[in-house]
Structure 1
Amino acid sequence: MNAHVDAQVSAGRPKPGRAAKDRLDNGLPAVPNALLIAVFALLSLACLYPLLLVVAVSFTDEQAIVTGGYSIIPARFSLYAYRYLFEDAAQIFRSYGVSILVTLIGTVSSTLLTALLAFPLSRREMPYRGALAFGVFFTMLFSGGLVPWYLVYNAAGLNNTLWALVVPHLVAPLNVIVMRTFFANTIPQPLIESAKIDGAGEFRIFAGIVLPLSSPVLATVGLFQTLAYWNDWFTSSVFISDNKLVSLQYLMYKTIYNIQYLNSGLVDATVAGNATAAIPTETVRMAMAIVGIGPIVFVYPFLQKYFVKGLTVGAVKG
């Protein structure tokens, strides 16, 4: 009887609207979509503003920067910073080619080697799995130091070769841990066991089952390695003395260092003449940033849809 009365009372009540349902489900007031859009639009503008400022300053006259400071709208438009930067255009394009080649070879090789190491570590039946995993983790905490690092690569004959820019970043321990966790938590173990029953070997399982199901983590690690190779200037400074093999980032670093040295007052004015007065210090820095960031801006949108999924799934459990 009581149940029948409760049903009638419930039937007579008006059904809650969408906003009321959201408040009932979440226990919090529903946030209007317009407010969320406005908040994210402001956050997007806050992220874009520094980039737009760098672009604006790179196209501004140097004297206007000195007198009026930075501005999102150039006070006096000028291309002098880019003309100064591309006075040695052949060297810049050559360094661009070196960076692109090293990034492509390094990213593909590094992602494949990381996967080849992470997959066995994700298999519980692998012998000495714990010891090998500890060895990978140990290298995140301790390193041999700069001098042994240089001596090893020098003894291998990698000085003044492109391999000197590729090999040091081939396997990153953090990427191995992220990829191992992704394999362990995402690839169904019964799927691997059924493939074994059908006669598939380990390499067939890895190439035919694991890699096709691991696009998110492969894209995430690939993006990490792309950034690591593209932004690396230190390796060139250690192993490369041939100007034909220097990376773009190291070339930009040397240019900025030379400008700072010329403007430091340590150069004799009788030797330097009026050369230092013609150097657009601030604007050329911004022009270098624009020149150096170009390819990465175009790579990230293609990997963005995989990035968050690959990083979060591979980092929840160890």
Structure 2
Amino acid sequence: MGGRRRFSVGVMLIYAALTLFSLACLLPILLTLAVSFSNEDSIVQHGYSLFPDGWSLDGYRTIFVNKAIIFRGYGISIIVTVAGTLLALVVTTLAAYPLSNPNVKYRNFLALYFFITMLFNGGLVPWYLMCIKLGLANNILSLIVPMLMFNAFNMFLVRNFMESLPSALRESAYIDGANDLRIVFQIYMPLCKPVLATVTLFYALAYWNDWFNAIMLVDDKALNPLQYILFQLRSNIQMLEMLPKGASNEYTMPAESAKMATVIITVGPIVFLYPYLQRYFTKGLIIGSVKG
């Protein structure tokens, strides 16, 4: 009797509320998927629907009309996202570590210096001129390096987490002869997995969704990332949709279904990345619940 789990009315209401909330979060994704497979005429007549009158692959056919360009864009985006995220994590961690060390002189001044970049920036023209002077034009680095310089918000997240770690870890490592680089990579980074997982997701989303750097710094079409290619494709579809239809042009451009197909294509890798990082979020919550 004592081992049986009793479900009270309150617990059942909590489960019901969580179930409804989960369905509410899942509904937009299912609607986007359904519209991406919908016939354009059905969308125009009845709007978005989970159960459209007509099904069609025209949206995906429009996007993959030139498969080589799309797959090449996928490759560029994957390379930029993986390399950029790893480099950004290293730069962010190396900047956060000295700011979390109370023995570092002027660390508060340096923290203020980084904080100012969250409030003010030099503007688009100085940013562009600096990138050109550094040789960040028409190469793969032009899609990676500009975003390394530098998201102060992510750095402060990592710094605050490092400050919560016992200072005895660093002091004992110094006594054993370890230098700061070894302490960062072999002691602090393994302990900072929860916050680094969060920052990884932030950086990966930023790199994966970036198309601005391609517009500003890349002229070579072979280096265009997926987001920029799909941005161009969507602009072309909207332009063709505005053209007047003649007797010989009865075809309806799949503007809405192609737009939703674009969403499905672009969010796929991030959807697969998030469950892998979820365990570190959970671990961070558990660690936080038993400290102190």
Question: Under a length normalisation based on structure 1, what TM-score does the superposition of the two structures give?
Answer: 0.83
SS in 2 for 1:153: helix
Deviation at 1:32, TM superposition (A): 2.3
Match of 2:253 among 256, 279, 282: 279
1:233 positional shift: 1.1
Q: How much does 1:94 deviate? A: 0.2
* Partner amino acid, structure 2, of 1:36: I
1:2-23 Cα shifts (integer Å, max 9, x gaps):
xxxxxxxxxxxxxxxx99xxxx
Give the 3-state SS of the residue equivalent to 2:25 in structure 1: helix
- CA distance in 2 between counterparts of 1:195 and 1:39 reads 48
Match of 1:135 in 2: 113
Q: Which of residues 216, 238, 242 in structure 2 aligns to 1:238?
A: 216
In structure 2, what is the equivalent of residue 290 of structure 1? 264
Is the partner of 2:52 in helix, strand or coil? coil
Corresponding position: 1:183 with 2:177: no
Offset at residue 120 of structure 1 (A): 0.5
Aligned pair 1:259/2:234, yes or no? Answer: no
Larger RCO: Structure 1 or Structure 2 (Cα < 8 Å, ≥ 6 residues apart)?
A: 2
1:235–1:126 Cα change, 3 Å: same
Runs of 4+ more than 6 Å apart: 311-314
Amino acid at match of 1:58: S
Distance in 1, matches of 2:281 and 2:236, equals 38
Deviation of 1:31 after TM superposition, in Å, equals: 5.9
User: Equivalents in 2 of 1:285, 1:83: separation in Å?
Assistant: 12
Mapping of 1:1-318 within 5 angstroms?
32-170=10-148, 171-185=150-164, 187-265=165-243, 274=249, 277-307=251-281
Unmatched tracts of structure 2, length 5 or more: none
The one-letter amino acid paired with 2:78 is I
Q: Identity of counterpart residues, as a percentage? A: 48
Shift of 1:278: 3.9
1-side partners of 2:39 and 2:265: how far apart?
18
Distance 1:259 1:241 in 2: 22
Alignment coverage as a number of residue pairs: 281
Distance 1:213 1:231 in 2: 29
Residues of 1 paired with 2:118 and 2:135: CA distance?
26
Partners of 1:65 and 1:260 lie apart in 2 by: 16
**Superposed displacement of residue 257, structure 1:** 1.1
Query: Residue deviations 1:60-99, cap 9 Å, x none?
Result: 1111111111110131111111112111110000000000
Distance 1:157 1:307 in 2: 38
- Looking at structure 1, the residues matched to 259 and 163 of structure 2 have their Cα atoms a distance apart, in angstroms, of 45
- Distance in 2 separating the partners of 1:312 and 1:159: 45
